[in-house]
Copies of this chain bind each other. A is one copy, B any other.
Amino acid sequence: MKAISKANLDEVLRGMNISDISKATIRQCVNTAQELERVSGESFIHLEFGVPGIKASQFGVDMQKLALDAGIAAVYPPTAGIPEFKWNASAFIKAFVGIDIFPDCVVPTVGSMQGCFNLLMECSQLHEDRKAVIYISPGFPSHFLQAKILGLEARTFDIYDYRGDKLGPKLEELMADGKVCAMVYSNPNNPAWVNLTEGELKTIGELCTKYDVIALEDMAYLCMDFRSDRSKPFRPPFQPTVARYTDNYAIMISASKIFSYAGERVGLVAISQKLFHREYPKLKERYGLASFGDNFILTYIYVNTSGCSRSAQNAMSEMMEASVSGKYDFVAEMREYARRAHRSKEIFFSHGFSLVYDKDLDQDLSDGFFYTIGYKGLKGSELLYNLLRCGVCAITLTATRSEQQGIRVCVSMLNKDEDFIKLDERLGLFEGLIAEEGITTAE
């Protein structure tokens, strides 16, 4: 393709009401790319979407259809979840995370989005004066928006500057005033694909105990740190988790990525037994029920959606069972993302790009669903602006609350050989543009 002119791009951005491209949301970037595709007649490389891009697990599809045939659509699902879902979730967590969660303490949710939204709401109502939430940045933009909707104070810091021994002091600084009720993070991290080490998780856990903060741990990308083989049920190495270091935790596991089941909106929340049964006077006073777990199910989830699709519960239950029994190797399926990441990173590198978040302490990052990339000190907004001119769409790191300069790359839409060939061509076009137009980089 020929590079799109600045005038044309500016016009499209104006039409979309985007004044600062560095803050454009995923949806705004998608819309911009679609408009540019129309204007230029060229299809874009889409690196902005975080959609599965792999076929849904057949174990889930088959079971969901069986459940529908059995007539389950007519009856309200139990808000606490159907028993087999709870049992299979407990076994699944034992098999791949290596911790004990009682079936009673597992609740199906309409994706982890619902889990996180309702956990956040509940955590912010446990105490009169704790209305702040810590987020590890960069992060999933929707998580920040949840706090904004709920009127909570978001406290955040860029993990780039606080790895290892630096993490504890930073967290203590944020927790010290006793106003923090919860802490939200994804591990592996979206978008940086940083994996918190066991040592870092120990720090988080101990401080959550010390300051009575609840860790809300998002395992959207469970077992996708491919540097070690986590595919064998009940055998280490397990998914790292804060659960080994505190009782103040709830874990979120979504079927969207691990089972490529995003369409059916199903996930789960697993609450530590101690937290599940912990009684809060504020909850008792407000809702007549005291325990964290009872309120999560019967107060929050119940009046939010009356539970989660019954057939989707059957589907996820079956996919977990198949994974636990070894019939279905979901980790092997996900390795496809690592292959796409490796191949596309090589292409970026060959055109002078480099990783922004590049290490877990002394270890290179794993290949996975996302990575972050920069170009010779170019600002994230300029980088995205010029990539858009060359038919490549992404979101900036600024939009994920990172303080670093670069873009987030999601590999899920790189499906075919020709996508990689096209990426290579487009990045060549980009390199030429930078040279030709004398766009200044910090190099």
A contact residues vs B (CB 8 Å cutoff): 27, 51-56, 60-61, 64-65, 68-69, 71-77, 110-111, 113-114, 117, 121, 125, 142, 145-146, 148-149, 256, 260-266, 286-287, 298-300, 302-312, 315
Shortest distance in angstroms between A169's beta carbon and chain B's nearest beta carbon? 31
A58 to B19, alpha carbons, bound, how many Å?
A: 50
By Cβ-Cβ distance, the 5 closest A-B pairs, closest first, are: A56-B73, A263-B310, A110-B305, A56-B74, A73-B263
Q: Does A74 contact B265, Cβ atoms closer than 8 Å?
A: no
A145 to B262, alpha carbons, bound, how many Å?
A: 30
Q: Does B74 contact A306, Cβ atoms closer than 8 Å?
A: no
Interface of chain A, helix or strand or loop or mixed? Answer: helix
Contact of A142 among B263, B303, B311 (CB under 8 A): B303
Q: Does B110 contact A286, Cβ atoms closer than 8 Å?
A: no
Contact of A71 among B56, B125, B266 (CB under 8 A): B56
Shortest distance in angstroms between A293's beta carbon and chain B's nearest beta carbon? 15
Which residues of chain B have C-beta atoms less than 8 A from A110's C-beta?
Answer: 110, 114, 265, 305, 308-309
Q: Does B73 contact A117, Cβ atoms closer than 8 Å?
A: no
Q: Does B304 contact A263, Cβ atoms closer than 8 Å?
A: no
Which residues of chain B have C-beta atoms less than 8 A from A306's C-beta?
Answer: 111, 113, 142, 265
Q: Does A68 contact B64, Cβ atoms closer than 8 Å?
A: yes
A315 to B310, alpha carbons, bound, how many Å?
A: 14
Contact of A300 among B27, B149, B310 (CB under 8 A): B149
Q: Does B265 contact A307, Cβ atoms closer than 8 Å?
A: yes
Q: Does B64 contact A148, Cβ atoms closer than 8 Å?
A: no
A15 to B105, alpha carbons, bound, how many Å?
A: 22
A324 to B31, alpha carbons, bound, how many Å?
A: 33
Shortest distance in angstroms between A154's beta carbon and chain B's nearest beta carbon? 13
Shortest distance in angstroms between A117's beta carbon and chain B's nearest beta carbon? 5
Contact of A64 among B298, B299, B311 (CB under 8 A): B311
Q: Does B114 contact A77, Cβ atoms closer than 8 Å?
A: no
Q: Does B75 contact A263, Cβ atoms closer than 8 Å?
A: yes
Shortest distance in angstroms between A322's beta carbon and chain B's nearest beta carbon? 15
Q: Which residue of B lies closest to A53 (CB)?
A: B74
A51 to B76, alpha carbons, bound, how many Å?
A: 7
A–B Cβ pairs within 8 angstroms, 14 of them:
A51-B75, A52-B75, A61-B68, A61-B69, A74-B260, A76-B256, A111-B305, A113-B306, A125-B149, A145-B287, A148-B286, A149-B299, A264-B309, A266-B309
Which residues of chain B have C-beta atoms less than 8 A from A64's C-beta?
Answer: 68, 73, 311
